[in-house]
């Protein structure tokens, strides 16, 4: 009788404390959390203000059901997020996957309410991760994870921009954003009357370790969606609320989606909560139609989760942590760039803010990935772990192999000296793995 962990049969250390950027196990061993767990813990572990917020709400009302009551923390959270990010309504669920499914169903409901019920399909991209529940995984171009599920209902069809290895074999700067134009071709092939939404991660996270699109790509997607009257859904589960140095990764191109999905950054790892933000166009129509919003789960709009998220927002705002993610993220990026300069086998760095991906390739001439049987990223992650550093393996996309990049994404308030130690330990881990 045991707890099922990812590697069955493997003995994991039991963590007994996590404070700031440091996790400690029962034997007193310490790790720098260089990946914020699963790129969630943006404000560091054990922040007293969040603990207090959770504790206060637990004492007032530990559970209220969404069809019976609103709660003060959920109302406040919705209003704060809408005002800050320019949206009209918010709804909260528990995980990023659920929020993705909620966003998709909201888009479909919008078109039903708009008198266009044939608009149901959702387009997504071949390098992407939108979650592990069936519909979210169906929309994900994360091939190692797709292999674990049977009977998925869809497959991503659109190219994800990856200028280093352009999927359309275009020359950089001469391509005129062929990857965005491919979206329009797919819309024309399927017929805009059948399409509800385009779902994108503005900066790709788990499946490609901080892959940033070429400038103008997101803007072009917005134009294409507008031209064909298709909703644009930004999956900011991983990037939202500061991870890339802006409140939303869409802000880097000044583009507004119709629906934004938030997750990891909203809960910062403290309590399961994710959410969607809907534009005035969507919420206005549903409200005017007096539509029922029947999506949700037992713990939707959970008051304690909302209290935790409000406290996380307080800290992000009070301590200017999004700005810090930009400045310290640039510092970390410079350190990582200097590190890979001396390493022929880790030649490519990508990312923004506090989200960096170190791509593991055999050399910087052929730029070919390590053979998949070497499990390159897992090997580096394991060496780093032994050295007291947590980094996150990104299942790769190169030739369908997995594990070709390592994600470095520490909490935004990690002290500079800890970032330096992080880079030193990662350097040693990479050397050991080579
Ligand atoms: N969307 C994105 C962009 C993600 O990175 C993830 C998780 O990594 C998800 C959705 C799914 O979130 P969760 O694991 O909370 O279900």
* 3-state secondary structure string across 360-428: CECCCCCCCECCHHHCHHHHHHHHHHHCCEECEEECCCHHHCCCCEEEECCCCCCCHHHHHHHHHHHHH
Residue 5 included in any domain: no
In the predicted structure, residue 421 carries a pLDDT above the cut 80: yes
Number of domains into which the chain is organized: 2
Which residue among 133, 206, 355 is best mutated to probe the pocket of ligand 1, counting the most ligand atoms within 8 A of its Cβ?
A: 206
Number of neighbouring beta carbons within 10 Å of residue 185: 12
Tell me the per-residue pLDDT of 155-175, one tens digit each, with 9 for 90 and over: 999 999 988 888 899 998 899
The CA-atom distances, in angstroms, between 116 and each of 196, 229, 265, 361 are 9, 11, 34, 48
DSSP annotation of 125 reads: B
Percent of the chain whose pLDDT exceeds 70: 98
Residue 278 included in any domain: yes
ipTM above 0.85, yes or no: yes
Both 196 and 164 in one domain: the answer is yes
Both 186 and 271 in one domain: the answer is yes
CATH number at residue 283: 3.40.640.10
Both 19 and 106 in one domain: the answer is no
Spatial neighbors of 132 by CB under 8 A, at least 6 apart, are: 97, 145
Both 402 and 370 in one domain: the answer is yes
For 45-58, what is the mean pLDDT? Answer: 98
Which residue among 6, 129, 138, 207 is best mutated to probe the pocket of ligand 1, counting the most ligand atoms within 8 A of its Cβ?
A: 129
In the predicted structure, residue 337 carries a pLDDT above the cut 60: yes
Residue 7 included in any domain: no
Q: Which tokens in the block code for residue 304?
A: 């304690």
Ligand 1: distance of its center to the CA of 338 in Å? 30
Atom of ligand 1 nearest to the CA of 204: 3
Both 252 and 295 in one domain: the answer is yes
Atom of ligand 1 nearest to the CA of 238: 5
Percent helix, percent strand, percent coil in the chain, to nearest 5: 40, 15, 45
Residue 231 included in any domain: yes
Q: Find the helix or strand (DSSP H, E) in which 359 lies.
A: strand 355-359
Both 194 and 110 in one domain: the answer is yes
Sign of CA dihedral 55, 57, 59, 62: negative
For 281-288, what is the mean pLDDT? Answer: 98
Query: 66: domain range?
Result: 49-318
Buried b (16+ CB within 10 A) or exposed e, 390-400: bbbbbbbbbee
Both 228 and 312 in one domain: the answer is yes
For 176-185, what is the mean pLDDT? Answer: 96
369 pLDDT band, cuts 50/70/90, is confident
pTM over 0.90: yes
Residue 154 included in any domain: yes
Final residue of a domain: which of 263, 290, 318? Answer: 318
Residue 10 included in any domain: no
Residue 6 included in any domain: no
Tell me the per-residue pLDDT of 123-158, one tens digit each, with 9 for 90 and over: 999 999 999 999 999 999 988 888 888 878 889 999
Ligand 1: distance of its center to the CA of 130 in Å? 5
Q: What is the pLDDT of residue 396?
A: 59
- Ligand 1 pocket (Cβ < 6 Å) reads 95-97, 100, 129-132, 201, 205-206, 235, 237-238, 263
Atom of ligand 1 nearest to the CA of 100: 10
Q: What is the mean pLDDT of the chain?
A: 94
Final residue of a domain: which of 318, 337, 354? Answer: 318
Both 311 and 329 in one domain: the answer is no
Q: How far apart are CA 185 and CA 183, in angstroms?
A: 5
Final residue of a domain: which of 289, 318, 347? Answer: 318
On whether the CB atoms of residues 163 and 180 are closer than 8 A, the answer is no
């Amino acid at each position: 009788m045991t707890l099922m962990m990812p590697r069955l049969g493997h003995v994991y250390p039991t963590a007994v404390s996590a404070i700031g950027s440091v996790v400690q196990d029962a034997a007193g061993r310490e790790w720098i959390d260089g990946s914020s767990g699963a790129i969630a813990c943006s404000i560091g572990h054990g922040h007293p203000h969040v603990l207090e917020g959770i504790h206060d709400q637990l004492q007032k009302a530990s559970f209220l059901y969404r069809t019976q009551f609103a709660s003060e923390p959920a109302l406040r959270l919705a209003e704060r997020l809408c005002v800050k990010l320019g949206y009209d309504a918010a709804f909260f669920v528990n995980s990023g996957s659920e929020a993705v499914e909620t966003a998709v169903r909201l888009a479909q409901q919008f078109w039903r309410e708009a008198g266009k019920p044939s608009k149901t399909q959702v387009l997504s991209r071949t390098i992407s991760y939108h979650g592990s529940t069936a519909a979210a995984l169906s929309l994900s171009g994360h091939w190692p994870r797709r292999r674990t599920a049977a009977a998925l209902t869809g497959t991503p069809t659109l190219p994800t921009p990856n200028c280093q290895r352009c999927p359309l074999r275009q020359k950089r700067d001469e391509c005129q954003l062929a990857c965005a134009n491919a979206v329009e071709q797919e819309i024309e092939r399927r017929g805009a009357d059948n399409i509800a939404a385009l779902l994108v991660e503005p900066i790709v996270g788990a499946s490609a370790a901080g892959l940033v699109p070429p400038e103008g790509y997101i803007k072009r997607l917005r134009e294409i969606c507008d031209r064909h009257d298709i909703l644009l859904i930004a999956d900011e589960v991983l990037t939202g609320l500061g991870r890339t140095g802006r409140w939303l990764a869409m802000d880097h191109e000044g583009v507004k989606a119709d629906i934004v999905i938030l997750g990891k950054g909203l809960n910062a790892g403290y309590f399961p909560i994710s959410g969607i933000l809907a534009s005035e166009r969507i919420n206005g129509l549903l409200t005017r139609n007096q539509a029922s919003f029947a999506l949700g789960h037992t713990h939707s709009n959970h008051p304690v989760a909302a209290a935790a998220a409000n406290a996380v927002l307080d800290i992000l705002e009070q301590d200017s942590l999004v700005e810090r993610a930009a400045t310290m993220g640039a510092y970390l990026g410079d350190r990582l760039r200097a590190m890979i300069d001396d390493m022929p086998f880790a030649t490519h760095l990508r990312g923004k803010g506090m989200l960096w991906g170190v791509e593991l390739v055999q050399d910087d001439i052929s730029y070919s990935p390590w053979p998949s049987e070497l499990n390159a990223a897992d090997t580096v992650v394991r060496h780093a772990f032994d050295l007291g550093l947590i980094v996150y393996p990104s299942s790769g996309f190169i030739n369908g192999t997995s594990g070709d990049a390592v994600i470095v994404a520490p909490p935004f308030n990690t002290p500079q000296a800890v970032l330096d130690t992080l880079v030193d330990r990662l350097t040693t881990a990479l050397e050991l793995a080579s």
